[in-house]
Amino acid sequence: MEKLTKEALEEFDLPGRAVLRSKNMIALGLISWTFNRDLKDTENWINEKFKNLPEVAKANIKALKTGYNFGITVEAFHHTYKVDKASLPAGEYTNINGNIGLSWGLIAGAKKANLELFYGSYPITPASDILHELSKHKNFNVLTFQAEDEIAAAAAAVGASFTGKLAVTGTSGPGLALKSETISLALSAELPLVVVNVQRGGPSTGLPTKPEQSDLMFAMYGRHGEAPLPVIAAKSPSHAFYAAFEATRIALKYMTPVILLSDNYVATGSEPWKLPEIESLNELGTNLTTKYNTEEGFLPFFRDFQTNARPWAIPGTPGLEHRIGGLEKEDGTGNVSYDTDNHQYMTDMRAWKIENIANDIDQLELNGDISSDTLVVGWGSTYGGITQAVNRLNSKGIKVASTHFTHVNPFPDNTGEILSRFKNIIIPELNTGQLSKLLRARFLVDAIGINKVEGLPFTAQELEEKIEGLIKSFSSVSTSVPTMEPVIEEVVEEVVAEEEPAVEEVLEEVVAEEEPDVEEVGIPEHLILRSAEARAKALGIPVEQVLEEMSGNKPAIEEPVAEVVEEPVADETSTEEKEEVLGEAQDSVVERVTERVTERVTERIIEKVDENVAEKKELLADNESQTDEVETSEKEEVKTDE
């Protein structure tokens, strides 16, 4: 190619080294021929790029054409390709990568919250471009702080947050490890903070330039103590904009650190982005305050009834001077407290505050064939691959649906319901099965992972094949059933008769399991009472009055509170009131229990039928048993891929 370049540019009066710089254009020309691309756009681009050096522009265009013509003349490859224009919805587009999208999302968040943006960061691959991008846009009131280390980057952001800025710190895996203690401080002091983690291959220095989704568990649990916080994941370069905006909204609304996960694939990958109407982005509310929140003064841990967020009073505000920190605080006053009950309460409250966000976020949506038995579940950068794979399978007539998490903590409210609609759950992840573990633990689903950590994203084709293989393995048993119909009927009858006494047994089991769930029906009762007590103490009014006030905002406890007011004999009514809440809760529990018992008994019956059928099959015909073996081994083969 060097020779080709020299020959092509002989006529130009350029020094030797400058000539060789055009080598890339020979290559581009050859590639353009291979893919049947018109050269016009590239020529325009070259002319624009070198508009002050017309000679260089001419040389580059000559090189480009030489490469193209070389392809035509020697027919370097047997095949050429034509990639048609993508069909995109009409609109105005820009080309964006995830780091830029994320940076702009943060700027938009700050702007819509009417706050200045503080970004503390220490250079790290692949997150540094966020620091580079934000440091360009100082005219958006963006203050970027290149800290001495990862800890200082986070710590300065905490300081900025205390001062009333939209505070953000960004890093990749190793840096997140170093920031862990500081994130706990923000969590304990209940200060808003967005923590960006652009994931790369780990552990340790790992694969700094390769994508991996292996920090999910770390984002969820990587802090000392009971320290839950919201986790949001960007699923594509353009989505990084919205994910950052959403992380900002939640941090500010709930006074909490939020971890925003991106990864190397999202961060450095580009895609066309249909530009949003800026006006369509919501204004973001904050908890900023300049006023006393009780008659006696300002209480920094006096919570909002709806969100349980504390007020955000910033230095410079007269009369609201207060001290906060990482030591456990008394609810309400925020004074240091080693009180055991208070610590239990604050731990529960911090957890509840985050859990409560589940009904304030976008619910899961389904894509593909929703009549399917199989759901492919993803999060983060696997979105494109999964969606394409599922759509391709659908167009081949294979039934499968998909759904994608942007919010990984808390999961959207409808997660359990969506998962329960499908028999088989498949979770592709660029890790060894982290979301699988989370969903198994939380929703008791038998999730099957498609996992790899090869430093590469999934291709749609790869997922298509693996998902198809799994679906075949799911249906291999049932496909042999039709030939056995009469046998099955017989077996079903037998098994049902046998299993009848088991219904009761299952019922007991399920009831036992469901009991702890009673609390989930509304805000945990002890939190309501405790919160009311703190407020009552602060305001110097009876608890009942506070409960009444609270009921205005929390319909879930309306009834019990109304009763308290009618009958001021607090102790007795509170028992009744408890019973009533429990009663309501129990109704919905009974429903759930019935559903689950039916489900489980059915499952048992099906299992047993399957077993017995298989046995009978073996006895019935040698030929058929052979087929069955083949199918079973197929199933196993696919499973080893997990």
Partner 1 sequence: MSKIPLSYKRTDFASDQEVKWCPGCGDYTILASVQNFMTELGIRKENIVFVSGIGCAARFPYYMNTYGLHSIHGRAPAVATGVSASNPDLSVWVVSGDGDALSIGGNHLIHALRRNVNMKILMFNNQIYGLTKGQYSPTSEEGKKTKSSPFGSVELPLNPMSLALGAEASFVARSIDMDRDLTAEVLRAASEHEGSAYVEIYQNCNVFNDKAFEQLTSKEGKIANRINLRHGEKVIFGAEDENAVTIRDGEAVIVKRSEIDDSEIYVHDITKDNPSIAFSLSRLSHGPYGPTPVGIFRQVERDTYNDEVREQIDSSIEQKGEGELDKLIRSLGTWDVS
Interface residues toward partner 1, by CB under 8 A: 88-96, 100, 104, 107-108, 111, 116, 118, 120, 137-143, 145, 147-149, 151-152, 155-165, 167, 181-182, 185, 189, 274-276, 278, 314-327, 335-336
Least distance between partner 1 and beta carbon 145 (Å): 7
Cα–Cα nearest to 419, from 471, 375, 371, 468: 375
Rounded to whole angstroms, the Cα distance separating 628 from 623 reads 9
CB nearer to partner 1: pick between 135 and 483? 135
CB nearer to partner 1: pick between 320 and 375? 320
CA angle 553, 556, 558 (to 5 degrees): 70
Least distance between partner 1 and beta carbon 265 (Å): 20
Rounded to whole angstroms, the Cα distance separating 229 from 224 reads 12
Whose tokens are 């505070």? That residue is 167
Rounded to whole angstroms, the Cα distance separating 425 from 377 reads 7
* Beta strands 407-409 and 231-233, pairing class: antiparallel
Least distance between partner 1 and beta carbon 182 (Å): 6
Least distance between partner 1 and beta carbon 501 (Å): 59
Bridge partners for 197 per DSSP: 171, 261
Contacts of 229 (CB under 8 A, 6+ apart): 183, 187, 223, 256, 257, 258, 259, 354, 409
CB nearer to partner 1: pick between 92 and 622? 92
CA torsion, ordered 505, 508, 510, 513, to nearest 10 deg: -130
Least distance between partner 1 and beta carbon 285 (Å): 18
Which amino acid is present at 61? I
Bridge partners for 227 per DSSP: none
DSSP labels for 7-23? HHTTTS---HHHHHTTH
- For the chain, report the end-to-end CA distance as a whole number of angstroms: 44
Contact 451, 432 (CB under 8 A): yes
Contact 394, 368 (CB under 8 A): yes
